Structure 1
Amino acid sequence: MTRAIGRSLELYYIDGRPDGMLTAELFNWTGHVLMAPRTQIADALVRPEAGYAGVYLLIGEQDGEPRAYVGEGEDISSRIKSHDVGKEWWTSAVLITAAANKLNKAHVRYLEARLIAEARAIGRVPLDNGTNPVPAILSEADVAKMEAFLDNLFIVLPAVRVDMFIRRSRPPAKPSTSSQVEKMPGASLQFEDAQRFILETKKHGLRATARLSDGEFIVEAGSRAREAWVGPDGHNYAHLHAELVRAGTLKLESGRSVFTEDYVFKSPSAAAATVNGRPSNGQVEWRTANGGLTYREWEARKLGAVSGY
């Protein structure tokens, strides 16, 4: 297994405000990201990098749903000025360029096409783009450079509050050839399948399975969830539920929503709320697959073992 390598990211808040313009750069990467709220777009477009060749994202909401647009240009500022008039829904812009204006027209056309394809494949945010452009034809070396550029960009974007390219689906876990037993350091108690959890709500015929792997809480494909969201409309998890339906991760089958793929949640409570169709406390609703401990109890034992309590 290849060990994950840490990366160094620098965020610079241009006017000292966390909700204002900021730039983001990775160490040893030529890319440059500028994030600006629409209220400061005039200030953003007079910066030198705004006149470079690059790609850009317009982000906002339309009719209560998130929306985005991906564009490219040899002079980003002129392209955004035209959209400032034609598109009313966007509230922030992300300008993506390279140091010393090293991207050319073919590069940015390739990046635009790949970003559109990736956003639509993930399905988290609907795009205002009408077509799926074909990537520009590049040399083998340039394709490798642009794919490396994208790999770095997908690390930077979440740091500037853009999560539409985070892929939360996961391949199914490989079946184990032996009984999975986890022994906590310093403890005599062993837990079979201690990192597997079940949530059942028999009243509504719901049963979901999940696993905790590499720090990710993953609800597994085939898990049965509530057919629709029944909690408060404005709740954060209501938006998450709608996002999963829109992306096809939740699909209605025989009066129940079924997970079509393994999906990573930020917390057990987010996963429980999606399964139950209402706000839920995942710390107590998820239970270990073998011993029936709540997630909270299981976690407390893990922490106690590590601490030597």
Structure 2
Amino acid sequence: MGKKLTIYMIDGTAYGPRLGEIGNWVGKAIYSPRAAVNKIINRTEFDNPGIYCLKGDPTDEAFDEKIYIGEAENIKSRLKQHLSDPNKDFKELIFFVSKDELITKSQIRYLESRLVQLALEAKT
């Protein structure tokens, strides 16, 4: 059965920040190149708990990309920490939050661990 996917181009460009929603799904996804994060960091979605992935260049030529997976009670606060950390050299980010803001810390931690598990399985 088909699903409705809505992509909102936040700055009106195909390569800029985007918000994604799937019909009948309780989550939202926000993608942004690092260069555009400061333009959208004050959106309300950044104030929510969620899980996030930071994508950067690989440190090992055996891999196509490097992904850092994390969770936060407040995406904005955590992202600001990453932005100010010179060791977090990422080029893109995506994060997932709940539409209804009813997600619990334990649910977020489960989703984070599941993403890490999937990433490790994909690596082998």
Q: TM-score, normalised by structure 1?
A: 0.37
Q: Which residue of 1 aligns with 2:90?
A: 90
Q: Which residue of 2 aligns with 1:44?
A: 40
Alpha-carbon distance change, 95 to 44 in structure 1, aligned in 2, over 3 angstroms: farther
The residue type paired with residue 4 of structure 2 is S
Are 1:103 and 2:74 counterparts?
no
Instruction: State the 1:44 CA deviation.
Output: 2.5
Q: Which residue of 1 aligns with 2:51?
A: 55
Instruction: State the 1:60 CA deviation.
Output: 1.5
Q: How does 1:104-253 map to 2 (within 5 A)?
A: 104-123=104-123, 247=124
Contact 1:53 1:97 in 2 (8 A): yes
Aligned-partner SS, 1:80: helix
Q: Which residue of 2 aligns with 1:35?
A: 31
Larger radius of gyration: 1
RMSD of aligned Cα (Å) = 1.4
CA distance, structure 1, for counterparts of residue 3 and residue 73 of structure 2 = 29
Q: Which residue of 1 aligns with 2:69?
A: 70
Instruction: State the 1:72 CA deviation.
Output: 0.3
The residue type paired with residue 83 of structure 2 is D
Aligned-partner SS, 1:62: coil
Contact 1:74 1:104 in 2 (8 A): no
CA distance, structure 2, for counterparts of residue 35 and residue 88 of structure 1 = 17
Q: Which residue of 1 aligns with 2:17?
A: 21
Structure 1 segments (4+ residues) deviating >2 Å:
62-65, 85-89
1:174-212 Cα deviation digits (max 9, x unpaired): xxxxxxxxxxxxxxxxxxxxxxxxxxxxxxxxxxxxxxx
Aligned-partner SS, 2:2: coil
The residue type paired with residue 36 of structure 2 is Q
The residue type paired with residue 116 of structure 1 is V
Instruction: State the 1:88 CA deviation.
Output: 3.8
Instruction: State the 1:30 CA deviation.
Output: 1.3
Q: TM-score, normalised by structure 2?
A: 0.90
CA distance, structure 2, for counterparts of residue 73 and residue 105 of structure 1 = 9
Q: How does 1:249-264 map to 2 (within 5 A)?
A: none
Percent sequence identity over aligned pairs = 30
CA distance, structure 2, for counterparts of residue 72 and residue 10 of structure 1 = 24
Contact 1:11 1:24 in 2 (8 A): yes
CA distance, structure 2, for counterparts of residue 29 and residue 73 of structure 1 = 21
CA distance, structure 2, for counterparts of residue 62 and residue 82 of structure 1 = 21
Asked which structure has the greater RCO (Cα within 8 Å, sep 6+), the reply is: 2
The residue type paired with residue 67 of structure 2 is A
Instruction: State the 1:89 CA deviation.
Output: 2.3
Contact 1:62 1:89 in 2 (8 A): no
Instruction: State the 1:15 CA deviation.
Output: 1.2
